[in-house]
């Protein structure tokens, strides 16, 4: 088991690449940077393939058992004397290992993260060839791969959190890659801080789990949670933990209300948008919820929340995507919307379907972003679709590969299987109690097809709308860029067939592969049959296939109708083309175009970057108030105490000088001196005066006796 035993090398290889770039990057030639940074990711991909291959053999011998490899104890000690007290009052060792876990769920992520990651590294060699900070870019990309792989391979929540914050950091660094631009560093800060809000929720969720289960390890927690003797469905602590974890997922996977950072994240270089903000990092929330499935099934309220938030995010983001003009922003909102789909699937209990959509989405969304990058590359950096048009003959490979991806996301051939699966599960879960979720999902599918084909028509068809200067430079991208496009297009076409549903005579290999991770859920649902939760397996037997066929027909129809609408509106788009929505309902268009004014609202209410009248709210408002309080009230009190001490000192000095020393000590002296004054007149010490007094006295004396 060579590969399995060295599974920790998979994340460590890219970490090595990043370290090399950190120390020596500036002195290295571009070729050397390529060799190290692309090399380690290729190696990681090969190791990952080897590990998954060996895991299938391992799983064959140990059915349903994940493979775990523990390197050392990371947090806490392994002595057994360093304990926390659980909710039930018993002690449990505080211990989180640097451990790795491979099971079907992490296998899937492992394969597409290293695979897509490798393709995007290769693509970046061409895309970033003329950019400054080449080594820095690849160092960050490698660091990202390390974090993402730690996230999916970690065997406990704390390790997952290492990757979780790590990918957030890399996202921050890469969004702010062009740090000269204020918009880029603003977007980077926004991404990190919004993610931190989610992380705070995740942290609290993790603390709750440790407090309740006494462990951070997935295998231990899952085993405990699946023991029907221990916990009942609807356990309030588990519900709270799940909701808190979901807050984290909302941050990382850009769900309402924390989705705001993702559209802005498009400030980063396009390969970054493809790798981090479409294919891999943003699906971390889905991974985490799927990983915690044993907990979520015990918390129907949390499941319901996940489903509803997912569905609302899906339609909300799709509606914004309808009218955006920046090619990357359309894709960004589409990502938010597709992530919503995935959470919808998880929320209705269709974990495998959600994961399947992550898988197909990784290919088509990475392809779409890389295609968009290729378009931007050809257009000399132009991202506004209003200034594009008629590119399909000039950059044919980009056009055809993007077309395949667009069909996939619209649910026409390949993406069909995953999206249709989600809609079907939404329709059939809880005996149709969530039909409104299906409706939202269905409308979203229609919108998705429309905005994606709008993107295709505006970019590749219609009249050319760019300046002559730009037009002369249009060229197909180099092979290192088109190569990954073609490979991804291949996967877009065929990856979906892994999940060929039973009802169409397929075997749904994908779902079967994931069975050991999610299988027990079906069991719990079945046991809980009365309350309405139904097992995925039971469901399919109960419903007639007829409904399923009809829904399939409807969802393919949605794709084709969306395509047709976009075709009608934009096929001849010239310089003065009008948006159909703007024409019919300008007010709705305004709201959508301005993204429902959510960013502005957040600036008023939460960040405080905008003032409400003269009043500043939010964090900055609180900060200002606290600063005022600190310098005036608290420090004022301290200085006041000092001032009063000095005043008292001055007063007592005055008292001492004038009252004690004055009235008390010197006063009697002065009084005595005053009293003595007349006497002193008599004894002045002047001999003439004595003579005078004597003479006057003598004269008086003589006169007295003379008259009497």
Partner 1 sequence: MQSHILSIILFTPLAGAFLLLFVPKENKDAIRWIANIFAAAGLLVSIPLVPWFWQQRFEPGFKFVEGAVNNWIPSIGAGYVLGIDGISFLLIMLTTLLGWVSILSSWEAIQNRVKEYYIWFLILQTGMLGVFMALDFFLFFVFWEAMLVPMYLLIGIWGGPRKLYAAIKFFLYTLLGSVLMLLAVLFLYFYNYRQTGTYTFSIEALYKTAPHIFHDPAYGATFAILLFLAFFIAFAIKVPMFPFHTWLPDAHVEAPTAGSVILAGVLLKMGTYGFVRFALPFFPDVAMHPKVRGWMIALSIIGIIYGALVSLMQKDMKKLVAYSSVSHLGFCTLGIFALTPLGLSGSVLQQINHGISTGALFLIVGILYERRHTREIAEYGGISNVMPVYATITMIMFLSSMGLPLLNGFVGEFTILQGTFVENWRWAAWAVPGVILAAAYLLWLYQRVFFGTVTNPKNERLHDLTPREVLTFAPLIIMALWIGIYPKPFFQILEQPVNQIVQTVRPGYPGAGGAVNASVPVSSAGTSAQLASENAKGNK
Which of the residues 144 through 173 are near partner 1 (CB under 8 A)? 158, 161-162, 165-166, 169, 172
Choice between 73 and 383, CB closer to partner 1: 73
| Residue 32: CB minimum distance to partner 1, A | 19
| Residue 84: CB minimum distance to partner 1, A | 5
- Interaction of residue 97 with partner 1, rule CB under 8 A: yes
- Interaction of residue 196 with partner 1, rule CB under 8 A: yes
Rg (CA), the chain: 38
| Sole window of 201-209, 321-329, 351-359, 566-574 interacting with partner 1 (rule: CB under 8 A) | 201-209
Can you tell me the distance from the alpha carbon of 167 to that of 148, in angstroms, rounded to the nearest whole number?
Answer: 6
Q: Quick check: 284 and 167 in contact, CB under 8 A?
A: yes
Burial class (CB in 10 A: 0-12, 13-18, 19+), 362: buried
Site for partner 1, residues 521 to 560, rule: CB under 8 A: none
List the Cα angle 333/339/342 in 5-degree steps: 150
| Sole window of 175-183, 332-340, 448-456, 525-533 interacting with partner 1 (rule: CB under 8 A) | 175-183
Choice between 65 and 479, CB closer to partner 1: 65
- Interaction of residue 383 with partner 1, rule CB under 8 A: no
- Interaction of residue 604 with partner 1, rule CB under 8 A: no
For the range 506-515, what are the long-range contacts, defined as Cβ-Cβ under 8 Å and sequence gap of 24 or more?
A: 510/352, 510/356, 510/359, 511/352, 511/353, 511/356, 513/104, 513/107, 513/108, 514/104, 514/105, 514/108, 514/351, 514/352, 514/355, 515/104
**Considering only residues 182, 393, 468, 708, which one is a binding residue for partner 1 as defined by CB under 8 A?**
182
**Considering only residues 42, 50, 73, 382, which one is a binding residue for partner 1 as defined by CB under 8 A?**
73
618, containing H or E segment: helix 618-628
Choice between 612 and 619, CB closer to partner 1: 619
Choice between 74 and 589, CB closer to partner 1: 74
Whether the bond into 257 is cis, omega within 30 of 0 = yes
Residues 6+ apart with CB under 8 A from 137: 124, 128, 131, 174, 177, 269
Q: Quick check: 313 and 336 in contact, CB under 8 A?
A: yes
Can you tell me the distance from the alpha carbon of 364 to that of 341, in angstroms, rounded to the nearest whole number?
Answer: 15
- Interaction of residue 635 with partner 1, rule CB under 8 A: yes
**Considering only residues 39, 228, 590, 642, which one is a binding residue for partner 1 as defined by CB under 8 A?**
642
Choice between 166 and 321, CB closer to partner 1: 166
Picking from 255, 112, 265, the residue whose alpha carbon sits closest to that of residue 186 is 265
Site for partner 1, residues 19 to 58, rule: CB under 8 A: 22
**Considering only residues 34, 103, 199, 548, which one is a binding residue for partner 1 as defined by CB under 8 A?**
199
**Considering only residues 504, 538, 612, 634, which one is a binding residue for partner 1 as defined by CB under 8 A?**
634
Choice between 294 and 327, CB closer to partner 1: 294
| Residue 203: CB minimum distance to partner 1, A | 6
**Considering only residues 76, 234, 516, 667, which one is a binding residue for partner 1 as defined by CB under 8 A?**
76
Structure tokens at 164: 């979780």
- Residue count, binding to partner 1 (CB under 8 A): 73
Choice between 5 and 542, CB closer to partner 1: 5
Q: Quick check: 116 and 141 in contact, CB under 8 A?
A: no
| Residue 63: CB minimum distance to partner 1, A | 17
Site for partner 1, residues 215 to 234, rule: CB under 8 A: 215, 217, 220
Can you tell me the distance from the alpha carbon of 498 to that of 510, in angstroms, rounded to the nearest whole number?
Answer: 6
Q: Compute the residue count for the chain.
A: 708
Can you tell me the distance from the alpha carbon of 534 to that of 531, in angstroms, rounded to the nearest whole number?
Answer: 9
- Interaction of residue 84 with partner 1, rule CB under 8 A: yes
Give the phi and the psi of residue 433 in degrees, each rounded to 5: -65, -20
| Sole window of 210-218, 431-439, 550-558, 649-657 interacting with partner 1 (rule: CB under 8 A) | 210-218
| Sole window of 73-81, 121-129, 442-450, 697-705 interacting with partner 1 (rule: CB under 8 A) | 73-81
- Interaction of residue 207 with partner 1, rule CB under 8 A: yes
- Interaction of residue 85 with partner 1, rule CB under 8 A: yes
Q: Quick check: 299 and 346 in contact, CB under 8 A?
A: no
Choice between 600 and 624, CB closer to partner 1: 624
- Interaction of residue 69 with partner 1, rule CB under 8 A: yes
- Interaction of residue 197 with partner 1, rule CB under 8 A: yes
**Considering only residues 185, 301, 325, 611, which one is a binding residue for partner 1 as defined by CB under 8 A?**
185
Can you tell me the distance from the alpha carbon of 594 to that of 132, in angstroms, rounded to the nearest whole number?
Answer: 33
Q: Quick check: 304 and 234 in contact, CB under 8 A?
A: no
Site for partner 1, residues 318 to 357, rule: CB under 8 A: none
- Interaction of residue 503 with partner 1, rule CB under 8 A: no
Can you tell me the distance from the alpha carbon of 274 to that of 116, in angstroms, rounded to the nearest whole number?
Answer: 9
- Interaction of residue 186 with partner 1, rule CB under 8 A: yes
Instruction: Quickly list H helices, 529-579.
Output: 536-542, 545-570
Choice between 56 and 77, CB closer to partner 1: 77
- Interaction of residue 619 with partner 1, rule CB under 8 A: yes
Choice between 101 and 372, CB closer to partner 1: 101
| Sole window of 85-93, 324-332, 496-504, 507-515 interacting with partner 1 (rule: CB under 8 A) | 85-93
331, containing H or E segment: helix 327-347
| Sole window of 65-73, 115-123, 344-352, 579-587 interacting with partner 1 (rule: CB under 8 A) | 65-73
**Considering only residues 32, 42, 93, 693, which one is a binding residue for partner 1 as defined by CB under 8 A?**
93
Can you tell me the distance from the alpha carbon of 274 to that of 364, in angstroms, rounded to the nearest whole number?
Answer: 10
Choice between 268 and 562, CB closer to partner 1: 268
β-partners of residue 96 are 75
Picking from 453, 355, 336, 356, the residue whose alpha carbon sits closest to that of residue 403 is 453
């Amino acid at each position: 088991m060579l590969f399995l035993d060295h599974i920790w090398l998979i994340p460590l290889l890219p970490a090595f690449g990043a370290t090399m770039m950190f120390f020596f990057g500036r002195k290295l030639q571009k070729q050397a940077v390529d060799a190290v940074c692309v090399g380690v990711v290729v190696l990681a991909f090969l190791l990952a393939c080897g590990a998954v291959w060996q895991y299938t053999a391992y799983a064959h011998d140990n059915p349903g058992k994940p493979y775990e490899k523990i390197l050392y104890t990371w947090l806490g000690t392994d002595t057994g004397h360093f304990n926390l007290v659980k909710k039930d009052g018993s002690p449990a060792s505080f211990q989180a290992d640097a451990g790795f876990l491979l099971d079907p769920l992490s296998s899937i992520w492992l394969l597409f993260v290293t695979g897509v990651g490798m393709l995007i590294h290769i693509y970046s060699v061409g895309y970033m060839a003329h950019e400054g900070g080449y080594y820095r870019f690849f160092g960050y990309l490698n660091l990202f791969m390390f974090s993402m792989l730690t996230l999916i391979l970690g065997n406990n929540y704390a390790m997952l959190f290492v990757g979780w914050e790590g990918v957030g950091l890399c996202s921050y660094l890469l969004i702010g890659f062009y740090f000269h631009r204020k918009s880029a560093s603003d977007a980077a800060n926004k991404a990190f801080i919004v993610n931190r809000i989610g992380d705070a929720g995740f942290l609290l969720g993790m603390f709750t789990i440790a407090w309740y289960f006494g462990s951070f390890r997935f295998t231990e927690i899952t085993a405990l949670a699946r023991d029907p003797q221990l916990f009942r469905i609807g356990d309030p602590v588990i519900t709270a933990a799940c909701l808190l974890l979901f807050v984290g997922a909302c941050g990382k996977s850009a769900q309402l209300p924390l989705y705001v950072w993702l559209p802005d994240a498009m400030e980063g270089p396009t390969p970054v948008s493809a790798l981090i903000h479409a294919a891999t990092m943003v699906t971390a929330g889905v991974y985490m919820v799927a990983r915690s499935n044993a907990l979520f099934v015990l918390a129907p309220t949390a499941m319901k929340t996940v489903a509803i938030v997912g569905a609302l995010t899906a339609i909300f983001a799709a509606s914004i995507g309808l009218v955006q003009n920046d090619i990357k922003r359309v894709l960004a909102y589409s990502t938010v919307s597709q992530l919503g789909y995935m959470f919808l699937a998880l929320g209705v209990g269709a974990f495998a379907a959600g994961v399947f959509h992550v898988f197909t989405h990784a290919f088509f969304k990475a392809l779409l972003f890389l295609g968009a990058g290729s378009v931007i590359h050809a257009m000399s950096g132009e991202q506004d679709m209003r200034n594009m048009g008629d590119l399909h003959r000039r950059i044919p490979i980009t056009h055809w590969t993007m077309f395949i991806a667009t069909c996939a996301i619209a649910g026409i051939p390949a993406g069909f299987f995953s999206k249709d699966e989600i809609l079907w599960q939404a329709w059939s879960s809880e005996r149709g109690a969530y039909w409104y979720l299906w409706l939202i999902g269905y409308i979203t599918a229609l919108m998705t097809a429309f905005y994606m084909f709008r993107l295709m028509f505006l970019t590749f068809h219609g009249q050319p709308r760019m300046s002559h200067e730009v037009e002369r430079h249009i060229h197909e991208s180099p092979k290192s860029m088109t190569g990954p496009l073609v490979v991804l297009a291949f996967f877009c076409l065929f990856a979906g067939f892994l999940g060929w549903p039973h009802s169409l005579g397929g075997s749904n290999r994908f779902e079967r592969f994931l069975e050991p991770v999610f299988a027990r859920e079906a069991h719990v649902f079945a046991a809980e049959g009365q309350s309405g939760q139904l097992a995925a397996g039971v469901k399919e037997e109960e419903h007639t296939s007829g409904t399923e066929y009809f829904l399939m027909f409807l969802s393919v129809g949605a794709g084709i109708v969306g395509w047709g609408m976009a075709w009608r509106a934009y096929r001849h788009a010239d310089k003065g083309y009008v948006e159909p929505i703007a024409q019919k309902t300008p007010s709705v268009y305004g709201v959508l175009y301005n993204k429902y004014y959510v960013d502005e609202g957040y600036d008023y209410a939460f960040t405080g970057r905008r003032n409400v009248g003269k009043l500043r709210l939010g964090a900055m408002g609180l900060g200002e108030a606290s600063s005022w309080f600190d310098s005036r009230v608290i420090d004022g009190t301290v200085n006041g105490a000092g001032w009063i001490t000095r005043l008292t000192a001055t007063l007592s000095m005055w008292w001492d000088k004038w009252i004690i020393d004055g009235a008390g000590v010197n006063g009697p002296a002065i009084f005595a001196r005053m009293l003595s004054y007349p006497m002193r007149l008599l004894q002045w010490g002047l001999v003439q005066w004595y003579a005078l007094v004597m003479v006057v006295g003598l004269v008086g004396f003589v006169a007295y006796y003379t008259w009497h």
